[in-house]
Amino acid sequence: MILCQDLLWGAANSPLTPRLNIKLPTGSLTAVVGANGAGKSSLLKVLAGLQKPLSGHLRINAEGTKIGYLVQRSGIDRQFPISLGELVSGGFWGQRLRRRVRSQRLRQTLQAWDIEKLEAYPLEALSGGELQRALLARLSLTDANLLLLDEPDAALDKAGQTLLWRHIGAWHKAGHTLVVVSHDLPRVREMAEFCLLVDSEGCQYGPSHAVIGKAGLGECCHA
């Protein structure tokens, strides 16, 4: 469960929205939508503990909660001298697994994201979509039960987007709690139980079909 009480976030003395009060149930799938610069990515950083809120309270209340956070590709140093396989293997961090088990799980995950043929490629040789799949594959290897995904469909082609949402659906079915920043309103309407519209005039939260159906949403979110 994620509880936000009178939460404000943004630059010092400049909150991005009015106070946010929401409760996201454990095991739920919530999409975060809104215009560019509205504060969606900043909110995910606050939820991940990477950025302090300006005021208010945030409580993540679930026994044994581990957070997996998908950063945007722009936060990755493409010149760092590691291969795609080594990047994906970072998802094992903190887990005590036998070498054989790690190797098997890595192979299965690379295949699941259709990047097994790119395992030895350096990061600088990857396309934007290939790098995004690698970051998602790394997330798949974590043992996190709360997944925060910041524009996971960025740079993905149609096949990649279909694959992504298939994995999101599987994570949700497995009982993970997911918060997904997305501009893909048709997918949000189809897949997400709940939707949070982040807006400088005030945030709106509720069932996805109801929030997306509100007048003017299509103008501020690019499907």
pLDDT, tens digit (0-9, with 9 covering 90-100), for 115-134: 999 999 999 999 999 999 99
Q: Are residues 107 and 44 in the same domain?
A: no
The pLDDT of residue 64: 75
Q: Are residues 54 and 164 in the same domain?
A: yes
Q: Are residues 180 and 215 in the same domain?
A: yes
Q: Which of 142, 158, 184 is the last residue of a domain?
A: 142
User: Dihedral through CA 214, CA 219, CA 220, CA 223, nearest 10?
Assistant: 90
Q: Are residues 87 and 59 in the same domain?
A: no
Structural domain total, the chain: 2
CA distances from 76 to 24, 52, 55, 81, 203 (A): 29, 22, 29, 12, 30
Residue 220 has pLDDT above 80, yes or no: no
Residue 25 located in a structural domain: yes
Residue 29 has pLDDT above 90, yes or no: yes
The pLDDT of residue 215: 41
Mean pLDDT, rounded, for 162-185: 96
The pLDDT of residue 71: 84
Residue 71 located in a structural domain: no
Residue 155 located in a structural domain: yes
Q: Are residues 127 and 179 in the same domain?
A: no
Q: Are residues 8 and 31 in the same domain?
A: yes
Q: Are residues 154 and 172 in the same domain?
A: yes
Q: Which amino acid is at 95?
A: Q
Q: Are residues 96 and 153 in the same domain?
A: no
Q: Are residues 188 and 215 in the same domain?
A: yes
The pLDDT of residue 217: 58
Q: Are residues 191 and 137 in the same domain?
A: no
The parent domain of residue 87 ranges over 81-142
Q: Are residues 137 and 150 in the same domain?
A: no
Residue 168 located in a structural domain: yes
Q: Where are the beta strands (DSSP E) in the chain?
A: 2-8, 10-11, 14-15, 20-24, 29-33, 55-60, 67-70, 146-150, 177-181, 194-197, 204-207
Residue 94 has pLDDT above 90, yes or no: no
Residue 74 located in a structural domain: no
Q: Which of 142, 161, 176 is the last residue of a domain?
A: 142
The pLDDT of residue 76: 82
Mean pLDDT, rounded, for 10-38: 95
Q: Can you tell me the distance from the alpha carbon of 88 to that of 90, in angstroms, rounded to the nearest whole number? A: 5
pTM for the complete prediction?
0.91
Mean pLDDT, rounded, for 43-55: 95
More confident residue, 62 or 37: 37
Percent of the chain with pLDDT over 90: 85
Residue 52 located in a structural domain: yes
More confident residue, 142 or 75: 142
Mean pLDDT, rounded, for 136-145: 95
Residue 38 located in a structural domain: yes
Mean pLDDT, rounded, for 165-177: 96
Mean pLDDT, rounded, for 36-55: 95
